[in-house]
């Protein structure tokens, strides 16, 4: 029997053709933009790692679970891409806050920001701060005063992040992005290696 291995968060799917039963936990997210795999309209995303697998169902309306964390039991097939066919779905609490990942600077001047958008967020906030202003406390990481570079940025319309037209010329600085959703509110800007939330002191986007 041919076995294939696909990493999904802390789990590894051992895929036997044509199908194998699986139980996975993740957030049901709608597909946006161009997709290399044309099967289905939803992904199941590990909220802690960002890894995902396409999910579809003949017995459940996945739109009813969008942006909720669920435990899905079903079987996985591989055709155009690995697909989890959901047979049972149970909602559960969010295991990790949804964060924006892989923030980079693009273009010749290194001034345009780009990131991997989380599709549960229709819009995004972008801030810039100074590295010298960072400090820690018992319950959070203080980002110091920040500048709001973009408020409610619609990545899905522009296809990229905003350009920072006022990059500091001295000292080190950083950028952070959070998602904004009417369903789940503002996401976090991020967390320290010890799990403390990163919080601006002032100047945050509304």
Q: What is the residue extent of each domain of the chain?
A: 3-91, 101-199
Q: Which residue, 43, 45, 37, is CA-closest to 56?
A: 43
Q: What is the pLDDT of residue 11?
A: 45
Q: What is the DSSP letter of 60?
A: S
Q: Is 87 helix (H, G, I), strand (E, B) or coil?
A: strand
Q: What is the pLDDT of residue 7?
A: 44
Q: Which residue has the tokens 């795999």?
A: 37
Percent of the chain with pLDDT over 90: 48
Indicate the pTM of the whole model: 0.74
- Mean pLDDT, residues 169-198: 87
CATH 2.60.40 fits 101-199, yes or no: yes
pLDDT band at residue 149 using 50, 70 and 90 as cut-offs: very high
Q: What is the pLDDT of residue 63?
A: 94
pLDDT band at residue 98 using 50, 70 and 90 as cut-offs: confident
3-91: CATH class? mainly beta
């Amino acid at each position: 029997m041919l076995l294939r291995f696909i990493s999904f968060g802390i789990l590894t799917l051992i895929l036997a053709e044509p199908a194998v039963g699986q139980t996975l936990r993740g957030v049901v997210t709608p597909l946006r933009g161009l997709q290399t795999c044309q099967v289905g309209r939803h992904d199941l995303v590990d909220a802690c790692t960002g890894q995902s697998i396409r999910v579809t169902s003949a017995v459940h309306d996945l739109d009813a679970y969008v942006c909720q964390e669920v435990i899905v039991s079903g079987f996985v097939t591989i055709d155009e891409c690995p697909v989890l066919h959901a047979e049972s779905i149970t909602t559960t609490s969010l295991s990790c806050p949804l964060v924006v990942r892989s923030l980079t600077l693009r273009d010749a001047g290194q001034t345009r920001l780009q990131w991997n958008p989380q599709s549960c967020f229709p819009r995004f906030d972008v801030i810039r701060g100074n590295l010298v202003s960072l400090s820690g406390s018992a319950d959070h990481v203080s980002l110091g005063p920040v500048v709001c570079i973009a408020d409610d940025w619609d990545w899905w319309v522009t296809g990229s992040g905003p350009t920072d037209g006022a990059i500091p010329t001295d000292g080190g600085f950083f950028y952070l992005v959070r998602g904004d959703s009417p369903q789940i509110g503002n996401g976090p800007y991020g967390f320290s290696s010890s799990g403390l939330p990163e919080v601006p002191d002032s100047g945050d986007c509304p």
